[in-house]
Amino acid sequence: MKYNRYPRRDPIKNYFPLPNEIFCLGLCSGELSVYSYLLCCENRKTFQCWPSYKTIGNALQMSRNTVRKYVAQLEEKRFITTEYTQVFKKNGKKYNGNLKYTVRPIAEPMEYFYQQQLETAAREQAKAKAKRRLEEYDRKRSCKVS
């Protein structure tokens, strides 16, 4: 059996699947909205789409700057990747195009989220250990002074 990194998606365009795991990964409502919109727009074979910030903002009733912020957060959390595109006009001039979004398989952001949780737990444990050592040191020092 061949391993497929991406879950199978029905090519019918009237709906799109939203992974259940998405609700356990700490996304705010804006990030969830933008991610859902990108899933709705994506090509189900290439997992890519090209909506502009303005298009996403109009669909979700957000400003372009808010959409930009949520896209950056989704990219940081590894839900999507973005690439710059270029457009050539008839006169031969080159212009910046929309971002090309690639929706990543849900396993990647899940792994990243769990890794972040483990690192946070390790930092908290190190802080607690340092606090206990400091309290023990202060206790020994106060006994010697008395």
Predicted local distance difference test score (pLDDT) of residue 72: 96
What pLDDT, on the 0 to 100 scale, is given for residue 95? 83
Q: CA 29, 15, 104 angle in degrees (round to 5)? A: 60
Q: DSSP label at 119?
A: H
Pick the CATH number of 20-104 from 1.10.10.10, 2.60.120.380, 1.10.3720.10, 3.30.830.10: 1.10.10.10
pLDDT at 26: 86
What are the boundaries of each domain within the chain?
20-104, 106-146
Count the alpha carbons within 13 Å of 32 in the hemisphere toward its beta carbon.
12
pLDDT tens, per residue, the chain with 146 residues? 455 665 565 555 567 778 888 888 889 999 999 999 999 888 888 889 999 999 999 999 999 999 999 999 999 999 999 999 888 888 888 888 889 999 998 889 999 999 999 999 999 999 999 999 998 888 888 776 65
